[in-house]
Amino acid sequence: MSSASKTAPNRGALHPFDAKYGTDTGGYLGPEELVKGRINDAHNYGYSAVAPSVFRQACRRWRETLPEVSGRIEAYSFVDVGAGKGRAVLLASQLPFRKAIGVELSDELTRIALRNAARYIQVARSKAKLRMVQGDATKFRWPRTPLLAYLYNPFDCQVLAQIAEKLAAAAASGSGLVDLLYVNPTCTDTLMRQGLFRRLWTGQIAMDEADQKADPYGTTWDRVSLFRLK
């Protein structure tokens, strides 16, 4: 607990998103708190949720890269890889994606995410179909639609490399369109060496004041990168 307090001194703050919707998406869990003897447990980077203001800005910047004629967000499925308690999926459901899906290895976090989704649907208007899946992301069956895969730095580079390969295979048998929105992109070098994706942009996205006050790490911005399958 002491190491977690140093890593995330503001881990107990109630986030305005949860106060508004009655959900439980905030806080911080260290990697050791999520190890339960499952395959790939040891590769996790812990849990915290994206700031809504960062997520919305990142999605806006992503949409600006889509082709004017064929790049309709309604054609894309959003998949949060390592979804945790599901905040990003709930935020994505406010946009007109074809589907908003969360994939989470931890059954404990998946149960929380399912409760959050049930609560959120009661009090918010979702534009996308919302779904939470418990399972190993390296074994997930990706939709054959255009994809926006989302990661909030959930695990190490070894697993990310496997995910990238699976996405490329899914694209080859599906639409061929896959983008990767990566918050705190610590494994960028791995993606670049693989040569499957090209980086469209990287930038620092500032949190709004409410998100800054509730951020478990006490930070004011996140680095975000967008990659597109070649």
Q: Please, how many CA atoms are within 13 Å of residue 96, restricted to the half-sphere of its CB?
A: 6
Quote the pLDDT of residue 155. 87
Q: How far apart, in Å, do the first and last CA atoms of the chain sit?
A: 43
Quote the pLDDT of residue 53. 98
**Helix (H) or strand (E) segment spanning residue 57:** helix 52-63
Quote the pLDDT of residue 27. 87
How many domains, the chain?
1
What is the value of pTM for the model shown? 0.90
Quote the pLDDT of residue 13. 86
Taken in order 180, 103, 58, 94, the sign of the CA dihedral is positive
CA-to-CA dists, residue 83 to 65, 86, 91, 132, 230, angstroms: 24, 5, 12, 8, 25
Quote the pLDDT of residue 47. 80
Overall residue count recorded for the chain in this entry = 230
Per residue of the chain (230 residues), what is the pLDDT tens digit? 334 445 777 888 899 999 999 999 998 876 555 455 445 444 455 688 999 999 999 999 999 999 875 679 999 999 999 999 999 999 999 999 999 999 999 999 999 999 999 999 999 989 999 999 999 999 999 999 999 999 999 888 999 999 999 999 999 998 899 999 999 999 999 999 999 999 999 999 999 999 999 999 889 999 999 999 99
Q: Which domain holds residue 165?
A: 2-229
Q: Residue 157 burial by CB count (10 A; 0-12/13-18/19+): exposed, middle or buried?
A: middle
Torsion of CA 120, 124, 129, 131, to 10 degrees: -10
| CATH number of domain containing 175 | 3.40.50.150
